[in-house]
Chains A and B, each alone.
Chain A
Amino acid sequence: MISLFLLVLAMAIVTYIPRLVPLLWLRDVKLPPLLKRFLLFTPYAVLASLIFPGLLSATNSLTSALAGGAVAAALALLRANLMLVVIGGIAGVYLVETFL
């Protein structure tokens, strides 16, 4: 339990650092272009790495996971609000697991 709490603390610190450093100390500093491009691409790279292969084993069956992912992707393509994408994905999984 104590080690879990220390982990939460460590996660809090490494989450706070990228939020804090630019606001306090980088107000007038220009980042090297290569680093800036790396940072610009990081969100997309990390999101894609998180989705695959994690999605495949997110539920009780591969079928329901793929169904939930497909519903979410379709809603996201239609530019639905993030909340709708999440609820749609959960509903897709729930329906497939309940009725198939």
Chain B
Amino acid sequence: MATPVSQMTPIPNRDAFRSGMRAGIPVAVGYIPIAIAFGLLAKSFDMPNVITLAMSLFIFAGASQFIGVQLIMAGSMYWEIALTTFILNLRHFLMSASLSQRLETTSNRFLAAIAFGVTDETFSVASTRDESTRGHFVLGLNLIAFLAWNVGTWIGVFLAFGLPTSVQTSMGIALYVMFIGLLVPSLTRKPVIVVAAIAVLTQAVLYFGVSQFFPLSSGLSIILATIVAAGIGALIYREDEA
């Protein structure tokens, strides 16, 4: 018997999955060079290949992986790296919460598989497509992005030998320009500008002031500045301004 859900969305699961993979192609194409940059950067820091590849396989979060490699090489404490990663990925909480409102799929195992592939980019594609009420669509979209991320990482790791050192060190900037590319287009609303400015200001105070007297690792200052800035933003702005 047909349920109301399948009456509204008559396409079979297999087609929804394929349609999701097609919708994910632009994300996949965008991921490959960033993943290559990640592989190259890890290589230039002499990170063991198996660790670099395991990061893309098990973590699948670009910013966390980049900052993780940087913090490991800067000699940060492991708990700081884990905490920084957690704070960095809190943003996925809202994306998953938003997806949970629209998905018709209710099998927990299926939702757990979808959850693993929630990223800034897959989420923005999913939230602009009507098909994303279908679990299979979102799974296909996330899967192709995940595959591209891992293929890119492998290329970066094993291509690194052939590249001149000057190109490899230029990759150190990749992480930061990716952050700039994610942040700058959002700086059109005043609350966002204010929160970003408070974060930079807090970082400046910690970096030029506090750390002269009291040693602070970069991981810990990122955590502190984020909590201060997002906290102040949450206190001074109303819901509809956030």
Contact = CB atoms under 8 A, between A and B. Distances in A.
Nearest to A75: B181
Contacts of A35: 234
Q: At the interface, is chain B mostly helix, strand, loop or mixed? A: helix
Contact of A50 (B37, B99, B103, B179): B179
Interface in A37-51: 37-51
B185 to A, nearest CB: 6
A100 interface: no
Contacts of B88: 46, 50
Given A23-B96, A23-B115, A69 B200 contact: no
Contacts of B186: 44
The 7 closest A-B pairs by CB, nearest first: A89-B177, A85-B181, A76-B184, A72-B177, A45-B229, A22-B97, A48-B199
A20 B170 contact: no
B58 A53 contact: no
Nearest to B208: A53
Interface in B179-200: 179-186, 191-192, 195-200
Nearest to B198: A45
Interface in B191-242: 191-192, 195-200, 202-204, 207, 218, 221-222, 225-231, 233-235, 237, 239, 242
Interface in B58-88: 58-61, 63-64, 67-68, 70, 72, 78, 81-83, 85-88
Nearest to B40: A90
B45 to A, nearest CB: 12
Given A23-B115, A45-B226, A72-B181, 10 more contacts: A10-B82, A11-B59, A11-B68, A23-B114, A37-B237, A37-B242, A49-B226, A52-B204, A59-B172, A86-B37
A51 B166 contact: no
Interface string A41-85: 111111111111111001110001100110111011101111101
A89 B170 CA distance: 9
Contacts, number: 291
A58 B128 CA distance: 34
Contacts of A91: 170
A81 B166 contact: no
Contact of B177 (A40, A46, A68, A79): A68
B178 A44 contact: no
Contacts of A53: 203-204, 207
B112 interface: yes
B176 A55 contact: yes
A93 B179 contact: no
Contacts of B11: none
B169 A85 contact: no
A41 B234 contact: yes
Nearest to B30: A83
Contact of B166 (A1, A21, A49, A97): A97
B90 interface: yes
